Amino acid sequence: MNLWIAGASITDFGELWNRSLFDLLEEASLGAVAQAQIPAEDIEAVFVANMGAGAFEGQLHLGAVVSSFFSHFPPAMRVEGACASGGLALLAAEQAILSGQYKTVLVVGAEKMTDISAEQATAVLSGAACQHSECGSTFPGLYALLAQQHMQQYGTTREHLSAVSAKNHRHALNNPHAQYQKEITVQAVSESAMIAEPLRLLDCSPLSDGAAAVVLSSERVANDNPRITGFGQGNDSLSLAKRSSLTSFVATQRAAQQAYSLSGKQVQDFPVMEVHDCFTIAELLALEDLGVFAPGEAGSATLARETTYGGKVVVNPSGGLKACGHPVGATGVKQVAYLAQLLREGQYERALAHNVGGSGATAVVHILEAGEES
Amino acid sequence: MNLWIAGASITDFGELWNRSLFDLLEEASLGAVAQAQIPAEDIEAVFVANMGAGAFEGQLHLGAVVSSFFSHFPPAMRVEGACASGGLALLAAEQAILSGQYKTVLVVGAEKMTDISAEQATAVLSGAACQHSECGSTFPGLYALLAQQHMQQYGTTREHLSAVSAKNHRHALNNPHAQYQKEITVQAVSESAMIAEPLRLLDCSPLSDGAAAVVLSSERVANDNPRITGFGQGNDSLSLAKRSSLTSFVATQRAAQQAYSLSGKQVQDFPVMEVHDCFTIAELLALEDLGVFAPGEAGSATLARETTYGGKVVVNPSGGLKACGHPVGATGVKQVAYLAQLLREGQYERALAHNVGGSGATAVVHILEAGEES
């Protein structure tokens, strides 16, 4: 499978009141092309990941917006699957390359969420849940149900959840683009304001502005280009009420199995991962569904420092959604862009990215490997 | 290129106050699977075309909605490119099949536009224009600029525009799903209320609810399956102010050239077409950019009945966006679904579908051919 990451770029994530959605899309897009060191005209198609610009800003048709950054106006489309939009846009781009239609394409994800009130943004984000059976629910409320069930079934504790958040904040200290570059203690998470029992303020990823982009190519452009060697997508019932389990995401399990199978790799082959920690409980679910830990064991492992440097696997070195920030359309692209940079620098040989839409109705897994010496 | 249309389905188009977006998506999806006469579990992936459900109804994540209609929850994504969403979702699906990733996929497009006021809907639709340089413009206003330019440059007349609308209303009499099954005269169009000089009420496609779906397969499922033998996409500046021409859409020209080249066909090979007539002027632009008529000649040709039965080419037999209706996400899929049915019935051997996003920033062309006898 010839899918090379020729270039990658991530903007600052945060409350960027002086940057528009257009600014962010342009910075990430041109940054990825610049890193790839290819002429801009080599971009044959564009795939834009965005969830809610139509509702956040009244701007739809973002494919055409990004196409307009290039004088040759490459064909462009927007891909959406709630918070998994980034992972899905990567998949669409990969399929377009593998079809032989294009050799080199740009994938850019962005979201501009802080120009409206937090109440309005929460309402837009609720559009990722089932508006028939979950109308009126918020995402903290839906993930709180999952957390309660996990605590009841496996004995997951308040401290386990807090350890996820504290660890991701600590990791973000290494990421200059992160929204929060500030260490927080396990105790501070446990004592933060209650949002939806048992989830507290510091269990939740923030509203963020930001963008990320990668240039994918069917050919290796430079020796240090990492490679995508596996991908997978799983779906499940949009409505939690119709799920077979509330303590795992079948969509993640399916996506991971496909990606492992395609790449010929197993979960223990990955020393580093970016996983979808929109809430602390989501990181525990991810680690169990990916097979890193047995069901119910991710919380205690996190507390025992198994998911940070020196442990079993480094999870969310960027700071994750919690501390790096979660501009929803950007997230899935950012995970791959961030890991690509670590591989490019020679820090790791293999990495895994895991992106979730809604409360687990959509999941996408990508596997990256450092390019062999040519 | 092995891309067969195994099944197709179109719901009623209109003001469907007793049908939800979910109802419409489900009817079209299951209808296409039923026509294909395949088990529902054979659907390996779903591509959903929709422009504005996030803004119209607060429902994003429509891929997961449609996936949930199937007990095996196939992987799903939503594709958006304003009014070209349908054509783009077909392209994404075709690329996924041609990549070898999937053999059989569902493409379904839908929009539910009549649950909010016409003023609110107009604001949502304006999201397809550039919210930097065209903020405050409506689509009738933008297309009115194009119409004025065409009239000035080529002498296109009020009567030419009216003839497009009267012809499409006449065609819709044959389409039981059409929103308007009512003949209107050229004079009635010319005397209807002014919306944006020179465009009048009966120059404009309506707000519509509706859905359409096709099942695409890498294998012929039945002898009467039509085949997709060409596709193409073109883009151009989102903002009209930055266009090289206001009397043609470069995006359409590019999409058509790609599709003609891929299929080995020329414009004169098509006895029937569905083209994007969101406004009467748009049909004239389409016919000139596709090469059916020389620049400036589509208006007089339409008045001379060259674009209806007995003329050079039958344009918009469904009634087009004007009379069949324009539920935006559905439109590009409906064009292909409607033509597929005509080919399946043996009425034509070849057909062309042309779908536009915004005021010409995105265009998609598809070429369909009747399957040869096996």
Q: Give ipTM to 2 decimals.
A: 0.97
Structure-token match 């469904």, residue found: B318
What tens digit of pLDDT does each residue of A96-111 get?
999 999 999 999 999 9
Contacts of A215 (CB under 8 A, 6+ apart): A5, A6, A7, A8, A32, A33, A35, A36, A38, A43, A104, A105, A106, A107
The answer to whether the Cα torsion of B19, B21, B24, B27 is positive or negative is negative
User: Rounded distance, CA B191 to CA B213, Å?
Assistant: 36
Does residue B128 form part of some domain? no
Average pLDDT for chain B? 96
Q: Tell me, what CATH number does B68's domain have?
A: 3.40.47.10
Q: Fill in the amino acid letter for A246.
A: L
pLDDT of B60 reads: 94
Residues A101 and A140 in one domain: no
User: Rounded distance, CA A223 to CA A374, Å?
Assistant: 7
pLDDT of A261 reads: 98
Residue B136 confidence class, pLDDT cut points 50, 70, 90:
confident
Average pLDDT for chain A? 96
Structure-token match 């059916």, residue found: B292
For the segment A162-176, the average pLDDT, to the nearest whole number, is: 98
Residues A243 and A213 in one domain: no
Structure-token match 């034509």, residue found: B348
Residues B180 and B296 in one domain: yes
Boundary (domain end) residue, out of B176, B191, B217: B217
The answer to whether the Cα torsion of A20, A21, A23, A27 is positive or negative is positive
* Of A22, A64, A81, Cβ closest to residue B358: A64
Please check whether residue A360 is in contact with residue A231, taking contact to mean a CB–CB distance below 8 angstroms. no
Structure-token match 């379904």, residue found: B108
Say what percent of chain B tops pLDDT 90: 94
What tens digit of pLDDT does each residue of B316-353 get?
999 999 999 999 999 999 999 999 999 999 999 999 99
Residues B350 and B268 in one domain: yes
In chain B, residues with a C-beta closer than 8 Å to the C-beta of A115 are none
Please check whether residue B93 is in contact with residue B44, taking contact to mean a CB–CB distance below 8 angstroms. no
A158-172 and A280-289 helices, crossing angle to 10°: 90
Are the Cβ atoms of B61 and A81 closer than 8 angstroms?
yes
- What is A346-369 written as a DSSP string? TS-SEEEEEEEETTTTEEEEEEEE
What tens digit of pLDDT does each residue of A119-159 get?
999 999 999 999 888 888 999 999 999 999 999 999 999 99
Closest listed residue to residue B52, CA positions, set A48, A361, A59: A59
CB of A230 within 8 Å of a chain B CB? The answer is no
> What range does the domain containing A322 cover?
136-204+226-368
Boundary (domain end) residue, out of A177, A195, A217: A217
Structure-token match 């958040």, residue found: A165
Are the Cβ atoms of A95 and B101 closer than 8 angstroms?
yes
How many Cβ atoms from other residues are within 10 Å of residue B243's Cβ?
19
CB of A92 within 8 Å of a chain B CB? The answer is yes
What tens digit of pLDDT does each residue of A254-276 get?
999 999 999 999 999 999 999 99
What tens digit of pLDDT does each residue of B259-287 get?
999 999 999 999 999 999 999 999 999 99
* Of B132, B250, B357, Cβ closest to residue A61: B357
Closest listed residue to residue B1, CA positions, set B231, B271, B215, B222: B231
Nearest CA in chain B to A358: B61
- Whether the predicted model's global pTM rises above the 0.80 cut: yes
Structural domain total, chain A: 2
Residues A172 and A103 in one domain: no
User: Rounded distance, CA B319 to CA B299, Å?
Assistant: 17
Residue A307 token pair: 């998911």
* pLDDT surpassing 60 at residue A225: yes
Ranges of H-type helices in chain A:
21-36, 53-56, 62-67, 85-98, 118-125, 139-154, 158-172, 186-190, 250-263, 280-289, 298-303, 320-323, 328-344
Helix (H) or strand (E) holding A314: strand A314-315
Residues B304 and B238 in one domain: yes
Residues B30 and B48 in one domain: yes
Does residue B54 form part of some domain? yes
Residue A374 confidence class, pLDDT cut points 50, 70, 90:
very low
Structure-token match 């330019």, residue found: B149
Please check whether residue A47 is in contact with residue A28, taking contact to mean a CB–CB distance below 8 angstroms. no
Residues B165 and B92 in one domain: no
Residues A160 and A251 in one domain: yes
CA distances from B134 to A26, A166, B129, B130, B141 (A): 19, 45, 6, 5, 10
For the segment A356-374, the average pLDDT, to the nearest whole number, is: 90
Residues B23 and B169 in one domain: no
Residue B357 token pair: 């996003």
Residues B306 and B157 in one domain: yes
What tens digit of pLDDT does each residue of A263-313 get?
999 999 999 999 999 999 999 999 999 999 999 999 999 999 999 999 999
What tens digit of pLDDT does each residue of A338-363 get?
999 999 999 999 999 999 999 999 99
User: Rounded distance, CA A322 to CA A318, Å?
Assistant: 10
Closest listed residue to residue A340, CA positions, set A31, A8, A106: A8
Catalytic annotation, pick one of B150, B169, B177, B326: B326
User: Rounded distance, CA A93 to CA A66, Å?
Assistant: 15
Residue A57 confidence class, pLDDT cut points 50, 70, 90:
confident
Contacts of B338 (CB under 8 A, 6+ apart): B8, B10, B175, B212, B274, B317, B318, B324
Does residue A20 form part of some domain? yes
The CA-CA-CA angle for residues B290, B291, B294, to 5°, reads 130
Nearest CA in chain A to B78: A80
* Of B73, B95, B242, Cβ closest to residue A236: B73
Nearest CA in chain A to B131: A59
